[in-house]
Amino acid sequence: MRALVFLDLDDTLFQSHRKCPSTDGLQPVAYLRDGTSHSFMTAKQQALWRLLEGNATLIPTTARDLDSLRRVDLPFRSWSIVAYGGIILTPDGQPDQPWLERMRKVSEGTIDELNLLRGAAEDMIEREALAIRMRIVGDFDLPFYLVAKYTDGQEADLDHLQRELLQPLTEARGERFRLHRNGNNLAVLPRTLGKEHAVRYLSERLRQEWGELITFGVGDSLIDGAFMAECDYALTPRGSQLFAQTLGKPLL
Ligand SMILES: [Mg+2]
């Protein structure tokens, strides 16, 4: 039976230098556009990679777009899920066409409201001089979701924007949008966009091609729980946001 691993990348397989528990044995694996190494695998993450890579087909399942996935120096050889599930790439790096058509409709149906939310947030950032960068992330000319990050260490600014503006605006649109926050990553996502939708679609498609599969979901964020729940088994790093909210909680 073929084994498939749907693998989140950032903060699961590697992380920025600041988040590494120590500097011993770090391997640089992801780079900024200017070529600077930005993210690193610890010795255990390198061992995890070898274990998975040697025994299964790995499918990166990431919020990164294709450009930033290409700046990850790891030999992925099969399908990829990028842009939070907005795009599925075939093993030769081309977007899967039926999925692209489905997500084109999703993008067209949500962009006006995303722009409205972005406008409201930009007004607040300017009015209150908050240290926040914000953009709408997409790929293959399809905009998908809104992301905000603090700059200059001003985490409280992002907390403020979340609490006072994006959380209430998202809750008021709860049937259509959801809010995700993990550290310096605040995202507003259409509910029709999600790694879990892409994992379900691709598992089904590959089952038809390859026969019965055993699937594993690996991720660190609460929001990853949804795609991990599509898989037969789920794996999360100890100490991750998802771990803290599930396995790491004392039993009542
Ligand atoms: Mg992650």
User: Mean pLDDT for each consecutive 10-residue tract of the chain (252 residues)?
Assistant: 97 94 92 94 97 97 95 96 98 97 97 97 97 96 96 95 97 96 94 98 97 98 97 97 93 74
Say which DSSP state 248 is in.
Answer: T
CATH class in words for 2-86+194-245: alpha beta
Q: Are residues 201 and 88 in contact, defined by beta-carbon separation less than 8 angstroms?
A: yes
Report pLDDT for 74: 96
Report pLDDT for 251: 79
Distance 3 CA to ligand 1 centre (A): 21
Distance 120 CA to ligand 1 centre (A): 27
Distance 127 CA to ligand 1 centre (A): 31
Distance 221 CA to ligand 1 centre (A): 6
Q: Are residues 139 and 82 in contact, defined by beta-carbon separation less than 8 angstroms?
A: yes
Instruction: Sort strands 57-60 and 2-7 into parallel, antiparallel or unpaired.
Output: parallel
Distance 102 CA to ligand 1 centre (A): 25
Say which DSSP state 199 is in.
Answer: H
Judged by DSSP in three states, 226 sits in helix
Architecture of domain 106-190: 2-Layer Sandwich (3.30)
Distance 239 CA to ligand 1 centre (A): 13
Report pLDDT for 37: 93
Report pLDDT for 23: 86
Distance 163 CA to ligand 1 centre (A): 22
Q: Domain ranges in the chain?
A: 2-86+194-245, 106-190
Token pair 């809750």: residue: 171
